[in-house]
Structure 1
Amino acid sequence: REIRLPLRIKGEGIGPKIHFNFELLDIGKVFVGSVHCYETVLSNKGSIDALFNVIPPVSPLGACFVFSPKEGIIEPSGVQAVQISFSSAILGHFEEEFLVNVNGSPEPVKLTIRGCVIGPTFHFNVPALRFGDVSFGFPHTLICSLNNTSLVPMTFKLRVPGDGVGQQSISSCEQYSDNKKPFWNKDELPVIRPKEFTITPSCGTIRSQGFAAIRVTLCSNTVQKYELALVVDVEGIGEEVLALLITARGNSGSWSQGKIRALACVDCVSFTKFTAFLS
């Protein structure tokens, strides 16, 4: 009688072997809202076809990355270029780990991407707006520019915290031309401080690497020393991201204690002539 001898076969099934051409991609600093494209390569070093698919990320910032293609088949000794596009509205540093599932492989392939999303960069072309001495009721205008040095457009709003919240301040020309307005004196000053600063434009969008010319007009209706700031709010970034110092000295001249009476006003837009005397 024949005796059957057992044959024991021992081994380990090896799935596809794929890997990225790098494990870490550092994209550095990128502007918020800008679109960036990168490329990586998947290589199959195994002996069988590799069926892969990118596992969708679950974090909000991870969802800002788009892989193309998201899935595919790589033949043995073959390669697959993968395009990665990125655009984020979320500011700050990040480090995201992306996983690629490979059919028949126990562990996914990992790719780490890190960087920092920053807001637009911008500045004023002057260090401060210095009006100096300004006469009561006479508008004074200074011009500056807000320069956007980033590669993305920025939507801004300008304001002067600390300015009055009442009605717009009254110029000498308006005081003369409107007979219904009483002449200024200390007993007729408004309870609520008037709004004395006019900003043109006060809001808008500046294209990438562009600028906006800003006119700031002060029509003083109060006798005081001004030390305020023109602040910039940027949409999607925050409030008071940048501030420009404003200084001025409001006075009513040699007739500060008297009642001002405008006796003549000729062409209030281009030329104004006033005669005043002490009462």
Structure 2
Amino acid sequence: MIRLNAERLQHRVELVKEYMDLEGSNYNLESGSITIAKKVGEGSRKASITTDGYAYYSLRDGSRGKYYTVYLHHIVMILADPEEYIMQMSKDMTINHKSGDKTDNSLNNLEYLTLEDNQAHSYINGLGLSKRYRIEDLISYNDAYCILRSYYVDQESIRNIAETTDLTESAVNRVVSGKVFTGIKAMFSALNGSVRNSGNSTLRNGEVRDILSLYYTYKMPQTEIAKRHNISRSSVAMICTGKRWAKVNKEFKQVGA
């Protein structure tokens, strides 16, 4: 998954605190049990489980109008010490289940480890390495459908979707292109009719500005930009030279990126 900087980790901490401050929310760090109340209606939110056995919640930030995926073991560590969580995760640490049991999210069973040490722990305990980091094991079928809807119906850019799901842009691109969750993509297309052509004509203004920013501000190669936005390199070239989306190109340069 994508590594979050301190600012985004702080946002995650604040989002968790917001939900835990709701009447009806409670937790027990010794057992690792968490109850998160619903913002609307009665009862509590139900955790989802990845195919690899990790429990997580999709928490909505009303001010941003977006949902964010937060794993249960991360919530436990946030509640235990939010400042320590931000510091450790900012250093690219991971959270390891000492016993190897992903359903045991008690505080005593969790620890911060480097990615290398975490992988070594998985190998020693016979948990395997490659499966854990597959996209299919990091998100649910429902998450994949939501990503498809965000991209094809809501016309959100791959970058924005990656930020709200904590996935890499390449991972999101694999979902929207149908390289993973192929059955979900087929079902989505059947239910929603024809989806936007990845060729370029249905790009939104915001995506075009993102392409221009990546090229002119961040000096990213056109081939890499094409991969991120699931369009051809020639389309990127025409956008950057103003042969397509000339008005947006002109506005972008006038503002100075």
Higher RCO structure (Cα 8 Å, ≥6 apart): 1
Q: TM-score, normalised by structure 1?
A: 0.18
Q: TM-score, normalised by structure 2?
A: 0.19
Higher gyration radius (CA): 1
Structure (1/2) with the larger strand percentage:
1
